[in-house]
Amino acid sequence: MKAPEKKVQKAVDREMPGYVVKKKRGARRRGEAASTDAVSPDLDTLKKRYLGGDSETDGAVRADSAGSAPSRKKRGKPRYDDEIVPVEPKDRSRDGRLPSGSRAKRVVYSGDSDEIIGRQG
């Protein structure tokens, strides 16, 4: 799960003073993609083709994996994914550009340890 933007910003403030997380622009609209289900055979057909006729059924696999999955109550605090986050300097020139024509930098944010573990630029 992605870390909240405020949590990432706090880590950037702590480890890279003078930088802010760059706001994401709205997602570009794409044309409708073809559904993968429209061109793919169903799962049972694929199992017969590649695993043979005596493959396990879905019910047996699901019953085994259901008991081993950790519940949310046991985990405590949520776990966040590591992610690459664009950051830029707080101070901009009067025309709104970054100083000396530079671009936004990228940092690698570790969701579990709540710190920046890598930098680009």
pLDDT of residue 90: 81
| Exposed / middle / buried, residue 107 (Cβ in 10 Å: 0-12, 13-18, 19+) | buried
Contact between 119 and 108 under an 8 Å Cβ cutoff? The reply is: yes
Q: Tens digit of pLDDT per residue, the chain (121 long)? A: 888 888 888 999 999 888 888 877 655 666 666 666 667 888 888 888 888 876 665 555 545 555 555 554 556 777 888 889 998 888 766 556 666 666 678 999 988 888 899 988 7
Query: What is the four-CA torsion angle of 51, 56, 58, 59, rounded to 10 degrees?
Result: 180
Q: Is residue 15 part of a domain?
A: yes
Q: Is residue 34 part of a domain?
A: no
pLDDT for res 17: 87
The pLDDT value recorded for residue 14 is 92
**Residue 47 included in any domain:** no
In a domain, 97, yes or no: yes
- Does 69 fall in a domain? no
User: CA-CA distance, 107 to 84, in Å (whole number)?
Assistant: 6
Kindly state whether residue 54 falls inside one of the protein's structural domains: no
Give the domain extent around 119: 1-23+79-121
Q: Which residue has the tokens 């409708």?
A: 32
Total domains in the chain come to 1
Question: Is 118 within a domain?
Answer: yes
Output the pLDDT for position 108: 92
Quick one: pLDDT at residue 100? 64
pTM of the shown model:
0.52
Domain-located, residue 73: no
Contact indicator for 13, 85 with CB cutoff of 8 Å: no
